[in-house]
């Protein structure tokens, strides 16, 4: 199989790397905003009828716990797999 020659464009790589690095922060802001809207439009009316003790802070706390569990699973299981795959790709070791 012929090798595809790559072009070195450092400025493009720097922009993409900066963008990807900032995505978790933007995602966090988006997540909190979406949860606040979800609470006020959908969950609050239901909670007042069926779960009167549930308020916005408990809801956000529950969402925070879910995010922390997802981060733990990602760190413990998914990232090592991704790193192993990328290492094999960079070393040219394909199965």
Reported residue count of the chain is 95
Tell me: pLDDT of 1 over 70. no
- Rounded Cα distance between 84 and 92, Å, is 12
What tens digit of pLDDT does each residue of 11-58 get? 888 888 888 888 888 888 898 899 999 999 999 999 889 999 999 999
Q: Closest by alpha carbon to 68, among 39, 35, 40, 28?
A: 28
- The pLDDT tens digits for 55-79 are 999 999 999 999 899 889 988 998 8
DSSP state of 39: I
Q: Residue 93 has what DSSP assignment?
A: -
Q: With a threshold of 0.85, does the pTM exceed it?
A: no
Nearest to 72 by CA among 83, 64, 60: 64
User: How far is CA 11 from its chain centroid?
Assistant: 25
């Amino acid at each position: 199989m012929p090798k595809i020659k790559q072009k070195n464009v450092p400025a493009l790589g720097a922009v993409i790397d900066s963008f990807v690095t900032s995505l978790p922060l933007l995602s966090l802001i988006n997540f909190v905003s979406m949860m606040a809207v979800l609470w006020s439009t959908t969950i609050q009316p239901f909670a007042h009828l069926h779960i009167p003790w549930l308020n916005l802070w408990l809801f956000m706390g529950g969402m925070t716990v879910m995010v922390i569990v997802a981060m733990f699973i990602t760190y413990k299981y998914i990232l090592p797999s991704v790193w192993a795959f990328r290492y094999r790709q960079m070393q040219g070791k394909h199965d």
